[in-house]
Amino acid sequence: MRILITGANGFVGQHVVAELANRGHEVYACMRNKAGAFQTPVKNLIFDLSDRSMLFDVIERSRPEGIIHLAAQSIVKEAWHDPITTLHINTEYTLALIEAAIRFVPRAKVITVGSGEEYGLTGKLGEPLSEEHACQPQNPYATSKLAAGQLAMQVAHREQLNVIHVRPFNHFGPGQSEGFVISDFASQIARIENEKSSSVIRVGDLSARRDFTDVRDVVDAYVRLMEAEVSSGVYNVCSGIPVTIREVLDFFISHSKIPVEIQTDPSRLRKSEVPLFVGASHKLNRATGWKPTRKFEDSLFETLEWWRRK
Ligand code: GDD
């Protein structure tokens, strides 16, 4: 297939592009800057999604059969800091892409990337969240992703465009930047070991429970959804296993080469914290046969090793 990826040089994008290219797809990698541009045969397209006419031009020229829209502002803390920009990036660019697809490639399949965060307070129920559960987003990031997905589905439904809105729960792995809990912890441990900082690890709320999946399993879900015949709709991508942030921290501390002291950093505490997110991925499994394959501890360790090498 000819597949166009936005946010291609981001954390998830790099893994998606590599996997699609490996599987013999023709890949158009869209990114804002050249950093991390891919080698041939992947085609790099450097432009900013805020340039609507450029976006339309790119879709018209490349005529993708599939689009995976990964470009986003995806850090929850940053969304609190600047909600308008987060809303703007996450909703407007999604809509522009959908409109471009409708105009030039109405038979394409479009995967828009939302978030398990869209369920928000419903997570408190404590039961695995399926696509039928109501969404009660609790932060501007989650609201922006819910709005983006709804807008995409509304327009797509009216125009009969095949849109798959995925809701990945927390994902991580080698290559993820700081700002997310696992990379925040792993990077600090690596710096402490290198004696580049004091032996204090700064943490936020350790009581929250999240549903983590290795990024490579998440990418496998996206690729399966792209390749299989799948009807439009929302699909969760998650492990179904809740883990406390405390357990994640304990893992890193037990694998640290030197003793570390834990300190709560008030700037890492959230204004509005959802205590528990756990998802159900039966719909995805039924549609594509997907199941996560990687062991959580192995992925944590690999992530730590990646930060040690960095
Ligand atoms: N980032 C971060 N850093 N989070 C911390 C820290 C820390 O030092 N200490 C504790 N936490 C807690 C947060 O308060 C939250 O409860 C949990 O760890 C996970 O935080 P994040 O990794 O920032 O993820 P998130 O759950 O807010 O959002 C992530 O998951 C979504 C999918 O469910 C992001 O990856 C989103 O982009 C994604 O859509």
DSSP-H helix ranges across the chain: 11-22, 52-62, 76-81, 83-87, 93-104, 140-159, 181-193, 215-227, 245-255, 282-288, 296-309
Q: Give the torsion through C-alpha atoms of 284, 285, 291, 292, to 10 deg.
A: 20
**Phi-psi group of 84: left, alpha or beta (phi > 0 → left; psi -120 to 50 → alpha; rest → beta):** alpha
Q: Each residue of 48-66: pLDDT tens digit?
A: 999 999 999 999 999 999 9
Q: How far is the CA of 239 from the centre of ligand 1 (A)?
A: 16
Q: Which amino acid is at 96?
A: A
Distance CA 98, CA 110 (A): 8
**Predicted pLDDT at 66:** 98
Task: Check pLDDT > 80 for residue 273.
Answer: no
Q: What is the ipTM of this complex?
A: 0.97
Q: How far is the CA of 205 from the centre of ligand 1 (A)?
A: 10
Ligand 1 pocket member 183 (CB < 6 A): no
Task: Check pLDDT > 80 for residue 271.
Answer: no
156 pLDDT band (50/70/90 cuts)?
A: confident
Which of 70, 74, 76 should be mutated for ligand 1, with most atoms under 8 A from CB? 76
What pTM was estimated for this model as a whole? Answer: 0.96
Ligand 1 pocket member 12 (CB < 6 A): no
Which tokens go with 171? 């994902």
Picking from 142, 152, 147, 6, the residue whose alpha carbon sits closest to that of residue 69 is: 6
Ligand 1 pocket member 248 (CB < 6 A): no
- Closest-CA residue, ligand 1 atom 4, reads 181
Beta strand 200-203 with 2-6 is unpaired
Give the number of other Cβ atoms within 10 Å of residue 169's Cβ: 25
